[in-house]
Chains A and B, each alone.
Chain A
Amino acid sequence: MTDMASLMEDRAAAKVISDKMHKPVDWDSPKIARNIKKRYAAERRFKIYGLSAIGIALLALFVLGFSIGSKGYSAFFQTYVQLEIHFDPAEIDPQGTGDPAVIGKANFDGLIKQALRDRFPEVTSRRDKRDLYDVVSGGASYDLRERVLANPNLIGQTRKVWLISGDDFDMLNKGYIDADVDEGSRRLNDKEISWYNTLVSSGAVEKQFHARFFTSGDSREPELAGIWGAAVGSFYTLLVTLALSFPIGVLAAVYLEEFAPKNRFTTIVEVNINNLAAVPSIVFGLLGLEVYLNVMHLPRSAPVVGGLTLALMTLPTIIIASRAAIKAVPPSIRQAALGLGASPVQTVTHHVLPLAMPGILTGTIIGMAQALGETAPLLMIGMVAFIVDIPGGALDPATVLPVQIYLWADSPERAFVEKTSAAIMVLLAFLILMNGLAVYLRKKFERKW
């Protein structure tokens, strides 16, 4: 009865002090009023901190987007220069054979140079001439050849032709080179700028949509460089990643969620998955370098190695998402299937997996989006090589979009800045597309049990 006794004591004690203490607070006193005011001010301040934190984050996002967009949009257009080209038969096809092999070997570069000299007859010195030839890109002669091969009737004629301009000229036309600064501190000298002005005043300079940016591989010349090679490389890399990480990830998730007994092995696997999800990506690059290249001697720079490396990185994402999706399928469905005599494997393949599939796919797409944006591990396995050709398969040397961005960002030419930004815009467009798809899937198949 000690409980009761102590209770009685407490009550006695409480009685004594109850009257002493109970003096109601005067809520209207100036002191309390001041305090309330202070507290509300603190409340407002706190709210402002929160709002400005979100403001900072959104501002950063905006500045990031704006700086990329404003630097990059101009890359989708390219300056072209109109020249009067004389398709001299003596140069292109002296014998008049009409044989494409002969025409293909002709010196179209010479035709362009001739046209430039004709346009600016006052240019005589060797150095000035060299500068003059830079008005037109080195790649223009290939375009000219294609044009003549497609239409051999041109031979012998004189036509006005739009030719892709050199990168400095392009930068000047886009306003990135300021003609007003001191001659010594800009890429183009006064003469070059005067040629530009002459061409502009005769309407021989214009910007056209730059389709080549989307269709060609890398190049040392900014005006000829494109992202198609890197995009194809990314495609093969992701294909390998998906082919490996999706089945392995889903099977592992099914095992861990549906079949695994609670034992040492399962615990180790779970701890491993959680930790792998947080291992820095560059460490996976070191793993790829050592295991795939040094031990297994797989080809350097190949999408297959990149895909193998990224698959290991993506696995934890897919496993974790798949497990969550499988866990969300209510046990009643499993019980129903098992109650009809289905085996556990049949229960999973016929009922659980189809119901969990939207969640699994969402997780997979998000994992793929991460893999698409990943750069560092691919640097380790040699996907940073300068590769002009479009890769034809997963074993060809290739690079990927983010690495292409890294390479261009490192290039000194001013024109690569806009190419880099434009490539980033393309990459972000892909990522937004993938994440949008994931959100759509989640919304569409979201189910409340």
Chain B
Amino acid sequence: MAAVSQSAMTAEPSVSSPKMTARDLNLFYSDNQALFDVNLDIVERQVTALIGPSGCGKSTFLRCMNRMNDTIDGVTINGEVTLDGRDIYDKRIDVVQLRARIGMVFQKPNPFPKSIYDNVAYGPRIHGLVNSRDELDEIVMTSLERAGLLKEVKDRLQSPATGLSGGQQQRLCIARAVAVSPEVILMDEPCSALDPIATAKVEELIDELRSNYTIVIVTHSMQQAARVSQRTAFFHLGKLVEVGETDQIFTNPKDERTKGYITGRFG
């Protein structure tokens, strides 16, 4: 049928009990619409990659998922985003708690100008997750370990985090996010500022984390998406064009635009 609506076309056909969902999500920067009727399900304990050309809205969409767009003036959102079936834009939802449950790692490593230890301890401290110094120590150590950083920094936990290399800083940011035991981790092009070796380490880590966390990653690199993700969603001009198993998207895309993008005809 020619009159199949956009939402029907992009709706997820076959995901049972998704961790997060987006339904008919529209976003406006003042008068400019940046997202159009996005419908997407995020599967628990899987890596979902968001790909698409620059300015296609994938980062904007990612920032909707933990309400980071709240901090920007002039943004209006309609539609629904749920976490475990509850709308996160509901008035009763506490954004502070929400962001603890949905952690975020940013494009450029952004460690706080504090010690390595204090960077990781920041989240547990503000959220009051620990009762004693020992407990905090344990969280910091395990988080660093999970981020594959403990070996490199355990002798200098009190030295400033800004002294670490770029790749180490990014893994520290992941450790920092992990320390509050989030359920979902959003990653906004986490490797774009890193060299290939550091990138490989972070990709390994993402694969590692998948066993405990639901991960959504925005990436510029299709190879990366293919390497780390199980599911891939392709965005174009603010619209979600196609979503599915990563293998299927890369080998047998249904939409012409997706095909064009992954074969490098535009980007």
Interface residues in chain A, defined as those with a beta carbon under 8 Å from any beta carbon in chain B = 3, 6-7, 9-11, 13-15, 17-18, 20-25, 27, 31-32, 35-36, 39-40
Measured between beta carbons, the chain A residues less than 8 angstroms from B128 are 31-32, 35, 39
Measured between beta carbons, the chain B residues less than 8 angstroms from A20 are 142
- Determine how close the nearest CB of chain B comes to the CB of A16; give it in whole angstroms: 9
B213 to A, closest residue via Cβ = A22
A15 to B, closest residue via Cβ = B208
11 A-B pairs besides A6-B152, A39-B126 with CB distance below 8 A are A3-B197, A9-B151, A10-B148, A14-B148, A14-B208, A21-B181, A25-B100, A25-B127, A25-B180, A31-B128, A36-B94
Question: How many angstroms between the C-alpha atoms of A203 and B100 in the bound complex?
Answer: 80
Can you spell out 17 A-B residue pairs with CB atoms less than 8 angstroms apart?
A3-B201, A6-B152, A7-B201, A10-B150, A13-B150, A14-B145, A14-B146, A14-B208, A15-B208, A17-B146, A18-B211, A20-B142, A21-B146, A23-B181, A25-B101, A25-B129, A32-B127
User: Cβ of B142 and Cβ of A21 under 8 Å apart?
Assistant: yes
Measured between beta carbons, the chain B residues less than 8 angstroms from A27 are 97, 100-101
Measured between beta carbons, the chain B residues less than 8 angstroms from A31 are 128
User: Cβ of B96 and Cβ of A18 under 8 Å apart?
Assistant: no
Measured between beta carbons, the chain B residues less than 8 angstroms from A36 are 94, 96-97
Interface residues in chain B, defined as those with a beta carbon under 8 Å from any beta carbon in chain A = 94, 96-97, 100-101, 126-129, 139, 142, 145-146, 148, 150-152, 180-181, 183, 197, 201, 204, 208, 211-212
Interface of A is mostly: helix
Measured between beta carbons, the chain A residues less than 8 angstroms from B145 are 10, 13-14, 17
Question: How many angstroms between the C-alpha atoms of A31 and B97 in the bound complex?
Answer: 13
B201 to A, closest residue via Cβ = A7
Partner of B148 from A11, A17, A39 at Cβ < 8 Å: A11
B129 to A, closest residue via Cβ = A25
B148 to A, closest residue via Cβ = A10
Measured between beta carbons, the chain A residues less than 8 angstroms from B197 are 3
User: Cβ of A35 and Cβ of B127 under 8 Å apart?
Assistant: yes
Question: How many angstroms between the C-alpha atoms of A3 and B197 in the bound complex?
Answer: 9
User: Cβ of B142 and Cβ of A10 under 8 Å apart?
Assistant: no
Measured between beta carbons, the chain B residues less than 8 angstroms from A7 are 148, 201, 204
A31 to B, closest residue via Cβ = B128
Measured between beta carbons, the chain A residues less than 8 angstroms from B204 are 7, 11
The residue among B127, B139, B152 with the most chain A CB atoms within 10 A of its own CB is: B127
By Cβ-Cβ distance, the 3 closest A-B pairs, closest first, are A35-B128, A10-B148, A22-B212
A38 to B, closest residue via Cβ = B128
Partner of A24 from B126, B150, B181 at Cβ < 8 Å: B181
- Determine how close the nearest CB of chain B comes to the CB of A128; give it in whole angstroms: 75
Measured between beta carbons, the chain A residues less than 8 angstroms from B129 are 25
Partner of B208 from A3, A11, A24, A32 at Cβ < 8 Å: A11
The residue among A10, A13, A20, A40 with the most chain B CB atoms within 10 A of its own CB is: A10
- Determine how close the nearest CB of chain A comes to the CB of B97; give it in whole angstroms: 5
Measured between beta carbons, the chain A residues less than 8 angstroms from B100 are 25, 27
Question: How many angstroms between the C-alpha atoms of A23 and B182 in the bound complex?
Answer: 10
User: Cβ of A24 and Cβ of B183 under 8 Å apart?
Assistant: yes
Measured between beta carbons, the chain A residues less than 8 angstroms from B94 are 36
Measured between beta carbons, the chain A residues less than 8 angstroms from B212 are 18, 22
A6 to B, closest residue via Cβ = B151
Question: How many angstroms between the C-alpha atoms of A18 and B212 in the bound complex?
Answer: 8
- Determine how close the nearest CB of chain A comes to the CB of B116; give it in whole angstroms: 16
Measured between beta carbons, the chain A residues less than 8 angstroms from B146 are 14, 17-18, 21
- Determine how close the nearest CB of chain A comes to the CB of B213; give it in whole angstroms: 8
User: Cβ of B181 and Cβ of A25 under 8 Å apart?
Assistant: yes
Question: How many angstroms between the C-alpha atoms of A143 and B128 in the bound complex?
Answer: 82
B127 to A, closest residue via Cβ = A35
- Determine how close the nearest CB of chain A comes to the CB of B127; give it in whole angstroms: 7
B183 to A, closest residue via Cβ = A24
Question: How many angstroms between the C-alpha atoms of A9 and B204 in the bound complex?
Answer: 12
Question: How many angstroms between the C-alpha atoms of A71 and B206 in the bound complex?
Answer: 72
Question: How many angstroms between the C-alpha atoms of A125 and B159 in the bound complex?
Answer: 92
Question: How many angstroms between the C-alpha atoms of A14 and B150 in the bound complex?
Answer: 10
B97 to A, closest residue via Cβ = A27
Asked, given contacts A23-B181, A35-B127, A39-B126, whether A10 binds B151 with beta carbons under 8 Å apart, the answer is yes
Measured between beta carbons, the chain B residues less than 8 angstroms from A40 are 96
- Determine how close the nearest CB of chain A comes to the CB of B249; give it in whole angstroms: 27
- Determine how close the nearest CB of chain B comes to the CB of A174; give it in whole angstroms: 52
- Determine how close the nearest CB of chain A comes to the CB of B261; give it in whole angstroms: 32
User: Cβ of A22 and Cβ of B201 under 8 Å apart?
Assistant: no
Question: How many angstroms between the C-alpha atoms of A11 and B94 in the bound complex?
Answer: 35
User: Cβ of B101 and Cβ of A22 under 8 Å apart?
Assistant: no
Measured between beta carbons, the chain A residues less than 8 angstroms from B208 are 11, 14-15, 18
- Determine how close the nearest CB of chain B comes to the CB of A41; give it in whole angstroms: 13
- Determine how close the nearest CB of chain A comes to the CB of B20; give it in whole angstroms: 15
Measured between beta carbons, the chain B residues less than 8 angstroms from A6 are 151-152
Question: How many angstroms between the C-alpha atoms of A6 and B151 in the bound complex?
Answer: 8
A22 to B, closest residue via Cβ = B212
Measured between beta carbons, the chain A residues less than 8 angstroms from B127 are 25, 32, 35
Question: How many angstroms between the C-alpha atoms of A11 and B151 in the bound complex?
Answer: 11
Asked, given contacts A3-B197, A6-B151, whether A17 binds B142 with beta carbons under 8 Å apart, the answer is yes
- Determine how close the nearest CB of chain A comes to the CB of B214; give it in whole angstroms: 12
Question: How many angstroms between the C-alpha atoms of A22 and B197 in the bound complex?
Answer: 28
Measured between beta carbons, the chain A residues less than 8 angstroms from B101 are 25, 27
A20 to B, closest residue via Cβ = B142
Measured between beta carbons, the chain B residues less than 8 angstroms from A15 are 208
Measured between beta carbons, the chain B residues less than 8 angstroms from A25 are 100-101, 127, 129, 180-181
The residue among A14, A15, A17, A32 with the most chain B CB atoms within 10 A of its own CB is: A14
Measured between beta carbons, the chain A residues less than 8 angstroms from B180 are 25
Question: How many angstroms between the C-alpha atoms of A409 and B129 in the bound complex?
Answer: 62
- Determine how close the nearest CB of chain A comes to the CB of B45; give it in whole angstroms: 11
Measured between beta carbons, the chain A residues less than 8 angstroms from B151 are 6, 9-10
- Determine how close the nearest CB of chain B comes to the CB of A47; give it in whole angstroms: 15
A32 to B, closest residue via Cβ = B128
The residue among B96, B97, B180 with the most chain A CB atoms within 10 A of its own CB is: B97
Question: How many angstroms between the C-alpha atoms of A32 and B97 in the bound complex?
Answer: 9
Measured between beta carbons, the chain A residues less than 8 angstroms from B97 are 27, 32, 36
User: Cβ of B183 and Cβ of A39 under 8 Å apart?
Assistant: no
Question: How many angstroms between the C-alpha atoms of A7 and B199 in the bound complex?
Answer: 13
